[in-house]
Amino acid sequence: MKKIILAYSGGLDTSIAITWLKEKYNCEVVAMAADVGQGEELEPLHEKAMKSGASKLYIEDVREEFVRDFVFPMVKSGALYEEKYFLGTAIARPAIAKRLVEVAAKEGADAIAHGATGKGNDQVRFELTIKALAPHLKIVAPWREWEIRSRDDAFDYAEKHGIPLPVTKDKPYSMDRNIWHLSFEGGILEDPDSEPEKEMFILTVDPEDAPDKAEYVEIGFEKGVPVSLNGKAMGPVELLAELNTIAGRHGVGRVDMVENRLVGMKSRGVYETPGGTLLYFAHKEMECLTMDRETMHFKEIAGVKYGELVYYGQWYTPLREALDAFIDRTQQNVTGSVRVKLYKGNMTVAGRKSPHSLYREDLATFGEDVIYDQRDAEGFINLFGLPLKVQGLLENEKKRG
């Protein structure tokens, strides 16, 4: 291999990976950092990458594509992993890997490398995307090759080679940030019985410290896609960033969970997804108003599978494309707006409206109505309950001998 493109974040693993790749393969290493909304973390990367031995650093702004083509389709699906995880790290990996492949083609590289460990999910997510989009490229995973076996070993390697690092041995939890979420894993969080430190959180205030006055927000949707906030039309990145700010100041969007990794072990993760939590909540309310029962119930089943596909790194698969086609069809009438009340870490719906609303007051009313004849319910119940009645008759006959 003459040239390797490294997925570079500036963290511990990818910082030492540049030096290690050059030593191991005696090749040129080009670093690529994808801007998926991690903010100020990108500023020092150029100097750090050069000091670590990279010949070049690409900082690729993929925020618009990430939110529009990856995050919002996931919002429409309602996908969660194990009912709690909003898939912030998982959904970013195919977007990053896609751009890695594009940079590799531009540079004429032989291989792509990543800093994901052999114990985690990200190695699968990166590599499945690369295999799908550029099967001719070699893949190098240093954590599966080098003699480094722990975070302490990695710190020692960095100190020996003079590589600047963003974390220390005293506080070595790992963070992954993008415009959708911020995750914390490892180090002091590896004990699932320990409560996260209050100072650790960045995107959300402690609910106890949130404002004493509730705030209302109105989110507009067109065919399931968020398009406006408080009556103002916004693009995907602007809208999500504003929702992060609003939900974050009210302490909305924290998750602490023990999850089942794809590779077979359980791990503990703490996540902040303020804007995403708010979006999922509002989108579900919009669906409840505009989607028929059978479609909505089946879509919930499809959403579980969609979440697994994202978590397992299977974004570029025929099944995900087929699910998107189904989901897009279900979203044709998911248009309107939802008002949400935020207060001390909680969300409650304050109102929803749509030109495609299936809710009819003249049907649902407890007052006198002229459309629904309540006497019709008797025949419906008799037919719906017929299997139970037959079963009951059989059981009675058995008891009588």
The catalytic site residues sit at: 13, 93, 122, 174
Q: Is 373 annotated as ligand-binding?
A: no
Q: Is 401 annotated as ligand-binding?
A: no
Q: Is 10 annotated as ligand-binding?
A: yes
CA gap 81, 257 in Å, rounded:
11
Q: Is 290 annotated as ligand-binding?
A: no
Q: Is 362 annotated as ligand-binding?
A: no
Q: Is 125 annotated as ligand-binding?
A: yes
Q: Is 13 annotated as ligand-binding?
A: yes
Q: Is 228 annotated as ligand-binding?
A: no
Q: Is 357 annotated as ligand-binding?
A: no
φ, ψ for residue 174, nearest 5 deg: -95, 135
Q: Is 37 annotated as ligand-binding?
A: no
Q: Is 85 annotated as ligand-binding?
A: yes
Q: Is 115 annotated as ligand-binding?
A: yes
Single out the residue of 93, 106, 86 nearest to residue 5, CA to CA.
Answer: 106
Q: Is 316 annotated as ligand-binding?
A: no
3-class secondary structure per residue, the chain: CCEEEEECCCCHHHHHHHHHHHHHHCCEEEEEEEECCCHHHHCCHHHHHHHHCCCEEEEEECHHHHHHHHHHHHHHHCCCECCCECCHHHHHHHHHHHHHHHHHHHHCCCEEECCCCCCCCHHHHHHHHHHHHCCCCEEECHHHCCCCCCHHHHHHHHHHHCCCCCCECCECCEEEECCCCEEEECHHHCCCCCCCCHHHCCCCCCHHHCCCCCEEEEEEEECCEEEEECCEECCHHHHHHHHHHHHHHCCCCEEEEEEECCCCCEEEEEEECHHHHHHHHHHHHHHHHHCCHHHHHHHHHHHHHHHHHHHCCCCCCHHHHHHHHHHHHHCCCCCEEEEEEEECCEEEEEEEECCCCCCCHHHHCCCCCCCCCCCHHHHHHHHHCHHHHHHHHHHHHHHCC
Q: Is 9 annotated as ligand-binding?
A: yes
CA gap 256, 251 in Å, rounded:
14
Q: Is 117 annotated as ligand-binding?
A: yes
Q: Is 235 annotated as ligand-binding?
A: no
Q: Is 271 annotated as ligand-binding?
A: yes
Q: Residue 22 in contact with residue 130, Cβ under 8 Å?
A: no
Q: Is 183 annotated as ligand-binding?
A: yes
Binding residues for ATP: 7-15, 34, 115
Binding residues for L-citrulline: 85, 121, 125, 174, 183, 259, 271
Binding residues: 7-15, 34, 85, 115, 117, 121-122, 125, 174, 183, 259, 271
Binding residues for L-aspartate: 117, 121-122
